Structure 1
């Protein structure tokens, strides 16, 4: 696939890194020569200096033969124009744009991005995507990761396995006997820094981080089995009143007025903007790494601290300080993939990676077959995919025990209509089912083949 990416910042570079590593032909455009040189030096991708909204630059990038344009610069209007030109002049089939301003995303103006006006196929809003993921994490604070697909019937959670966990050292096939009616499937684990698929004869050990598919109404029960059934926080302190911080605080105000929210912001303009936009949240102008400021927002009595500034180090260090001063739990926004391993040892409970979320959304449109949702884990070491089974899929029509799935693949759940189904060897997948799959990176092409439409279908 030939892909043009406009913007070589954190988001654009992350997308280029992943797509080029998978063998796609990638060209990255940016007006900053240093960022272009970084692409040339570190990725198997072409770097082009210029403005992605200029026709001559897109022509140089190969837009005449491109399969997809992804516009993720810092400026919404540049991204819109790039998609418009890609459609009108070069007839690029798929156009994806990053849109940050919430005014453009207001449902009242929903026709703006139609084919007749601004022909954008997919809109990415990393700040909103990150904000919604943080809100999900807050609803289930015992989980390290929460992955929700479009149907919403099944969640995939990552949860720590400790010595006192009720499901430790037990073959997975025995879990349904020990816990009747448990709608959950352990698909894999992070063990010693590596992702592994777990099959029914294998077991979890202390120190693992389990990847579990579970029906939404049983998430609390599953977290309880892992000893992580924790109540949602009612007193929250947020460091950072930028796009993400204001979005999270505003959504909390909308959905649960009983929750107390306090924001700490070191930029006076951002602090002023947050104070004007938010109705009940308390906004404090100051540094979240300063002990006196943290005492001022009563961090000792807070249930959760969210480090949501634009600086990874500030988010990590302020989370550690909050924990040391008595806050019960913390989540840090971290873009650098190598930070979490160290930060976890310092006492950071959970992480949110904006770049990974954006890459996951883009991959949904790159993957072949009827892939409806994609979420990357461990910087691409594994993926959770939601795929539609068609009549021509090799999985349809026979019990799962008759299929010899590759060792790097595990089916976690099936959604049939509105009913989630946890698979056994006797389960038969039907055409129209949505299947949630855990796959290691080396097995991703095999997953695509399992759900690809046969030529005979047409």
Structure 2
């Protein structure tokens, strides 16, 4: 697949990294010559210096032969024009654009992006995606990541284990023996910087980050097994009333009716504006590093504090201050990945990486076939995808113990006639089953090829 990526920032460079190591032909366009040289030295991609929406630049980048353009520069307008030029002059089949300004995304202007006007096939709004990602975590307290598949009936959940976990040092095969009616499968273990797909003989250890697939109705029973019995938040404090904070507040007001919400925003005009847009949340104007403001927000009695300012250091410090005052859980937005692995050691419970969230959403639209569900974990170390088994699939009609999946993949769950089936050795996949599969980075391409031939995605 030939892909042009406009914008060599964190999102663009990470998409380029993902696609290039899977053998795609990637051209990366940016005005920053130093950035292009640096990425060109690190990755097997073609780098071009130029303005991403200029026709001559896109022509030189190979737009006439491109299968897709992904416009993720820092300018909404450049991204939009790049998509228009790619469509009108070069007939690029698929256009993906990142658009940050919410004024462009209001429902009343939805027709703007139709094929007859500004033809963008996929619009990515990082603020909206991050807000939804945080909301998912709030709904499963104790999880540092949670993604839903199969119309919400299957969840893939990431949990961090400590010494209190009752099933550490236990071979995974014994979990099935001990809890035969518990519909979960451990699909991945992240340990010492490496993701593995475990076998039935593997064990989990304190410090592991474990991913398991579960029937949504069994999550409440499963979490205590992994050492997490946190109560669902009833009191939440958001630090930072920017676009992410405002989106998250609206999700909480709409979907979590029992939650008491306070927002701390340092800019008075912004605080007044978001107070007008919210129905029952309380907005406090002040600095989140001010102990008096934290007291006024009553963080000592909050189950969860979510730090969402544009300043990583402020997010880290306000989270630690809130934890010190008694907040049970801290969810912290971190833009600089250098901080990510450090701050969990300081006591921060969940790190939110907007770059990784945006990359996951873009990948969902890049994978061949009609992919409905996809999520990338641990900076692309693994992906979870969802597809439908057709009659031609080699998965259909055989016991799973006799199906040869690519090494580094595991089936986490199957949805059949609205019922979740947790796969065992004697499970037989039937035509039209929805299959949720966890795959390591180096096997994603093999799985994708297998799916495009015999397991066609939605």
The answer, yes or no, to whether TM exceeds 0.5 is yes
Tell whether the 8 Å contact from 2:406 to 2:447 is kept in structure 1 after alignment. no
Q: Does 42-51 or 245-254 show the bigger shift?
A: 42-51
1:360 correspondence with 2:360: yes
Where does structure 1 lack aligned partners over 5 or more consecutive residues? none
Distance 2:242 2:50 in 1: 28
Partner of 2:338: 338
Partner of 1:181: 181
The count of aligned residue pairs is: 455
Partner of 2:56: 56
How much has 1:151 moved relative to structure 2?
A: 2.0
Partner of 1:389: 389
How much has 1:398 moved relative to structure 2?
A: 0.8
Distance 1:45 1:337 in 2: 22
Partner of 2:289: 289
3-state SS of the aligned residue for 2:196?
Answer: strand
Distance 2:5 2:428 in 1: 41
Partner of 1:452: 452
3-state SS of the aligned residue for 2:337?
Answer: coil
Partner of 2:78: 78
Question: Alpha-carbon deviations, 1:163-206, whole Å to 9, x = none?
Answer: 33233333323323322421111112112232111122323223
Distance 2:273 2:29 in 1: 32
1:146 correspondence with 2:146: yes
Q: CA RMSD in A?
A: 2.3
Distance 2:229 2:361 in 1: 29
3-state SS of the aligned residue for 1:380?
Answer: coil
* 1:366–1:256 Cα change, 3 Å: closer
How much has 1:144 moved relative to structure 2?
A: 1.5
Partner of 2:253: 253
3-state SS of the aligned residue for 2:379?
Answer: helix
Q: Does 247-256 or 282-291 show the bigger shift?
A: 282-291
Where does structure 2 lack aligned partners over 5 or more consecutive residues? none
Tell whether the 8 Å contact from 2:96 to 2:124 is kept in structure 1 after alignment. yes
3-state SS of the aligned residue for 1:204?
Answer: coil
Tell whether the 8 Å contact from 2:411 to 2:423 is kept in structure 1 after alignment. yes
Distance 1:391 1:249 in 2: 45
Partner of 1:15: 15
* 1:150–1:95 Cα change, 3 Å: farther
How much has 1:37 moved relative to structure 2?
A: 4.9
3-state SS of the aligned residue for 1:213?
Answer: strand
Superposed, 1:23-34 pairs within 5 Å as 23-33=23-33
1:127 correspondence with 2:123: no
Tell whether the 8 Å contact from 1:370 to 1:452 is kept in structure 2 after alignment. no
Tell whether the 8 Å contact from 2:390 to 2:454 is kept in structure 1 after alignment. no
Partner of 1:198: 198
Q: Does 29-38 or 144-153 show the bigger shift?
A: 29-38
Distance 1:410 1:269 in 2: 51
